Chain A
C-alpha cells in the first residue's frame, strides 16, 4: 500500500514524514484556540477565575491587538508550575480521562497558554501568596526567552503583546481596533456577568470601560455592566427534578417591553458558570419567549444553567463555547417550559406583548396621529393581541372626515417624541443615513425616525459630563480675550468652572488662560467655550444650565461624524427628550403616500 505524503505532495519519500516541532504544533493549535484578541482574553479570564481570583483587572491596547493583559489575585503559581503551564497539555485541572466526565473548572485542556505564547510576545508573572518571591516567564513567538525570579503581588499577571506578530497572514485578518475591542468587551462581559463574587475592571488605552464591584446583587451588577438600556430585568428561577441530578436555571430575564433587534448583547447564557453560545440552548430560551416578544426581536436574558457535570460534555469545541447535553431533549424542554412558567408567575404571558421601550405601538401612534390630522377617522380597533399578533388594520381613506375645524399642518403627524407611556431608551435603532447634514435618518421596526444630530450630540456630551471627568491639561494652554468687565467680574470665580470641566485662571488684563479641559468638551472651539462659560457664570446661572450650554456648543462644532460615529450616537439615545426625534409609523406613511398618489 502506498502512503500519501502530507499535503498531497505525491508519493512519500523515506524521511519526509516528521513529527512536528513543539513550536509549530503550538502555532497550529493556536489556529483553533486563538482566533482574535477576544479569544486570548477568554482563555486568560477563565484561568484567572479558575485560580480563585476575587478581582480581575483587564488592560487592552489597540483593541487587544497590541496588548491583552489580565491580572488576578488568585492562588498564583510557584516556579515549577509557572514553567509547566506553558507546556502543551499541562494543566492543574484534570488528571485522568475520568475527570473529563465531571469538569468543574472553566479550563482543562492545557493548550491555551502554549498556543497563545506561540503567536505573541508573552509574559507571565506569578507568585503564590506563601512564597516570598514570584516568577516571570517570557516567551517570544513560542521561544522561551527567560525564566527569572520577579517581584510580584500574590496572583498572576499575563501580558500578551503583539498577537500574531509572527504570523502576518493571521494578523492581517484581524479587524479594526473598534471591532476587536467590541469582541473583547463582549467576551469579558459574558465571562463575568454572573460572577457576583468577582470584582472586574476593564481598561482600554488606560481609560476605564467597565467596572463592577464584587458582592453586588446580580441585578445591580448586570445594569452596571450592560448599561441602563437593560433596566427592568426581572429575576427568574427554574427548578426541575426530571433531569438526573436536578436542574436549576437562575438569572434575569426581560419583561415583554424589553427586547433588542439583534441577538448580540441579548442572550447571555451559561452552563455551570461557563459561558456558552450553544444554538440549542438559545433556541430553548427563545422558544420560552415565543409570543412574548415580536418576531425578529430578542429578549435580554442573563441565565446560568446548573446541572450535574456528568450530564454535560463541555469538551466539544476547542473554544468550549458549545456543550453536548446527555439528555438534550429533556433539558431543553425543562428550560423552555420552566422559563415560560417563571415568567408567567411574574404576570408575563403571551398576551403581554409590547413594543420596545421608547417605541410606541402602532395602534397608539395611529390614535395620536388621528387626533392631530384633519380628515382622519379613528381606525378600527386593533385585533386583540394574541400569538401570533394580528396585523393592524389600515384606515380606510373613504372614511376620512374632518375631525377639527382648524387642522394643524401635516408635518405635525410626525410625533415629536413627547409623552410616551414609560421612560424610553432607543433600543436597536437602525441607522439609514443623514438628511441635510442635520438629521440622522433611522428606522425601528415599523417607524421611520428623524433624529436631530446636534441635539443627539448634546445629549451624549451631557451624559459624559455628568460623570464629571476631570479636566486634562491641553497640549498647550490657550489664552482667551474677554470683555474687560466680564474678565474682572468672573476672575475670582473661575475655579467654579472646574467641576464643569474647564480649568481657567486670570492671565492679566482682560485675558484668561485655559489650561485644562474635560475630554467631552474637547471638540468645541476653545475660545467660544470659555467666553460662553464666563458669560453664563456672570449671569449667575446654575451649574446645570452652564453645562447644558457647553454641551450644546460642543454639539454645534462643525466636526463631521463618520457613519460609524453616527451609529454610535444612536446607542442608548434617550428619545424622550423633547424636540430630539420625529417619528413616522410605516402605517401612517403608507396611508399618506397612497392617499396623495391616488
Chain B
C-alpha cells in the first residue's frame, strides 16, 4: 500500500473539505495502513487514536487543546462515533471547564463558544462490538450553531457557570443542561483541580469538562445527513 505522509495544514476551508470528502466511506484500517500506523487492539484506547489518525490525515496542527485543531482556519474537528443509523453513541467532549472562578461569564467569550463556532464533524460508524479497524469514516460535514442552537448552548452555559460560581459544582451532573452538560473529565482518577465551594473555600475535586449531549449531536447530524431508516 502506498505510504501517505502526514498532510500539511490546509490553507482554506475548501481545501479541508476536499480532503475530508476523500475520507468518507473508508475504513480506519485502510487509513491507518496508508500512514503506516498500527491499529490499537484495545478498543478502550480507540477514541484518542481515531482523533490522532484523522488529524494526521487532514493536516491538523494544534498541539494545544486551547486552540482549534485548524488554528489558521478557526475550525475544530470532532469525531462523532455513531451507530449504523447515525445515532451518536456517546456525548461529545468540547473542552475542560475551569472551576476556579476564571470562567468567562458571557457565552460569547467562553472556550466552548470558540471551540464550537466552526466544527468539522467526522462521523465514525461504530457498530456494536466492532473492531476499531473495521469502523468506517462517515461523510464529514461542517457545522456552525444556528441561532436556536446557539441560544440553547448559551443558556446552558450560563446556568452551569452560575452554579459553578456559587460553589455548587458538586450538585451538577449530566442531568443538567439541555445541550451542554458538565461531566467529570480526567484520564486518571487521581487527577485533581482546585474549586471554590459554597463557603468560598478552596477544595480539591476531580476535573470537569463541557460535553455536548448525544441528543444535541443527533439533531446536528440528522439535519446535515440523510440517515438510514
Contact = CB atoms under 8 A, between A and B. Distances in A.
Contact of A477 (B25, B82, B155): B25
Contacts of A334: none
Interface stretch (B5-13, B194-202, B203-211, B221-229): B221-229
20 contacts: A69-B148, A138-B155, A473-B224, A473-B225, A474-B226, A475-B82, A475-B86, A475-B123, A475-B125, A475-B138, A475-B227, A475-B228, A476-B24, A476-B125, A476-B138, A477-B24, A477-B139, A515-B24, A516-B226, A519-B226
Nearest to A69: B148
Interface of A: 59, 67, 69, 123, 138, 159, 161-162, 205-206, 471-479, 513, 515-517, 519, 522
Contacts of A205: 222-223
B143 interface: no
Given A475-B225, A478-B25, A67 B148 contact: yes
A533 B131 CA distance: 34
Chain A interface mostly? strand
Contact of A476 (B137, B155, B223): B137
Given A206-B223, A519-B226, A476 B148 contact: no
A473 B25 contact: no
Interface string B102-129: 0000000000000000000001010000
B151 interface: yes
Contacts of A59: 148
Contacts of A473: 139, 141, 224-226
B97 interface: no
B136 interface: yes
Contact of B151 (A159, A162, A515): A159
A522 B155 contact: no
Residue among B25, B125, B136, B223 facing the most chain A CB atoms (10 A cut-off): B25
A67 B178 CA distance: 13
A475 B83 CA distance: 10
B225 A513 contact: no
Contact of A472 (B125, B225, B228): B225
Contacts of A162: 178
B104 to A, nearest CB: 16
A517 B226 contact: yes
B25 A513 contact: yes
A516 B155 CA distance: 35
B90 to A, nearest CB: 17
Contacts of A474: 139, 225-226
A476 B25 contact: yes
A476 B151 contact: no
Interface in B116-172: 123, 125, 136-139, 141, 148, 151, 155
- Does more than half of chain B's interface fall in helix, strand or loop, or is it mixed? mixed
A476 B227 CA distance: 9
A477 B24 CA distance: 6
- Among A161, A477, A517, A522, find the residue whose CB has the most chain B CB atoms closer than 10 A: A477
B141 A159 contact: no
A516 B141 CA distance: 13
Contacts of B228: 475, 522
B151 A472 contact: no
Contacts of A123: 151
Given A473-B225, A475-B225, A476-B136, 18 more contacts: A123-B151, A159-B151, A205-B223, A206-B223, A471-B226, A472-B226, A475-B125, A475-B139, A475-B226, A475-B228, A476-B123, A476-B125, A477-B25, A478-B25, A479-B25, A515-B24, A515-B139, A522-B228
Contacts of B224: 473
Interface string B169-186: 000000000100000000
Contacts of B223: 205-206
Sorted nearest first, the 5 A-B pairs with minimum C-beta distance are A477-B25, A472-B226, A476-B138, A473-B139, A477-B24
Interface in B1-42: 24-25
Nearest to B123: A475
A316 B18 CA distance: 63
A479 B26 CA distance: 10
Contacts of A69: 148
Interface centre among A69, A474, A522 (most CB of B within 10 A): A474
B31 to A, nearest CB: 14
B229 to A, nearest CB: 9
Contacts of B222: 205
A513 B25 CA distance: 9
B148 A159 contact: yes
Contacts of B138: 475-476
Contacts of B178: 161-162
A474 B24 CA distance: 10
Nearest to A507: B25
Max count, chain A CB within 10 A of own CB: residue among B139, B225, B226: B226
